[in-house]
Amino acid sequence: MLSLKEAYRNDAILKLFPKPDYSHISENIKVSDATWIDFKDIHIDDEEGNFARADGQNPSHIEDLKMSFGAGVILNEELGAVKFRGNEYPQPWVLKYGYGRTLAQIELGIKGWAFNPIEGTDTEIEDVQSFENEPKAPKSTNQEKDIIRIKSRQVKLGTLSNNEDIIYANLKKTYPRRKTESLNRIAAGIYEDNNTPIKYAYYTDSKIKLWRDNHCADWFEVAGNWDSKKQAFGFTSKNGGLMRTFHRARVKYAEGSFVSYVNTFTGNVSKGSTLDDQRVGIVNEYIRLRVVDALVYGVNIKFLTLNGYFPQAYGVDKWSKFVEIDQDLLEKRVEDAIKIAKKKRRLENS
């Protein structure tokens, strides 16, 4: 493996470095082939140049990078990027991302390195910088607070519309590798920082407790804790998570014959996954779990009550109570589904 000093100015390896593609952010962003540039010709200031990183460069991260580069050049990793600002400047290039890598290389004593020249608007470059801070070893993980900071700034500048749907779509486009749970937290932070008009509430553990303490007219428990008033264990779950709750409630019933209840909420609401669609999905998942247990154990036991949904639709749901589920109707659906499943199994076995 080539050392940094052996690799610098070796044109034979330039095309081996992958050229990044930021078309998911904007088709207008242009990235040129890698070129060797001396550090003395680049304006490098991570406090000024990379708004996407609130705290600058972490010294321990620089040390990690020095150790990585000290072992040799990895040719399949993307390079840092620079933007040309004009030959009238003593340093005609400005570093846009790759600060940690560049600082580590400077400390290792080389005169320059390969960079991809990049073109785009200030907002597009900010989004590229923020996307580049997403996890890719040996990188420092992009913190949610940094993303909230940069996106809130764009909202305040007017380059990103203060609209719930537009903000969330922009987050999904800019950070395609990030988990939905993280995107939801980031979106909530941006909405709060900018008083963004929102249509739906989304719940985290802390928000569940805040709603219980500040709005709910009746006490309920969470995380499988004992509810002495209802003489049952209390759970919360989002759509897709009932199976785990169902199993935990089954275990508690087996251990002491105590029943449980669960209150539910949905994930991000969209055109293809409406609030009603997700609530129907929660009910169907609950019925399916009840049917499976009845078929396996030969008896229909209700050890977990699907109590209702957290209020989520502003201006529609009442914010002082759960959107309750008709238990008689739900039990009738469970019984009918069990009968159909048993009949189907008999026909298949005959």
**Domain boundaries in the chain?**
4-122, 143-198, 205-349
Give yes or no for residue 52 having a pLDDT over 50: no
Whether domain 4-122 has CATH 3.40.50: the reply is no
In which band, very low, low, confident or very high, does the pLDDT at 1 lie, cut at 50, 70 and 90? low
Whether this model's pTM surpasses 0.85: no
Percent of the chain at pLDDT above 70? 93
Q: What does the pLDDT read at residue 48? A: 53
| Angle separating helix axes 144-157 and 180-194, nearest 10 degrees | 40
Tokens for 102, please give them: 């560049």
3-state DSSP of 164-202 = HHHHHHHHHHHCCCCCHHHHHHHHHHHHHHHCCCCCECC
> Would you state the pLDDT for residue 86?
94
| pLDDT tops 60 at residue 7 | yes
Beta-carbon contacts of 232 under 8 Å, excluding residues fewer than 6 positions away, are: 226, 258, 259, 260, 261, 305
Reported as a pLDDT band with limits 50, 70 and 90, residue 198 is confident
DSSP label at 79? P
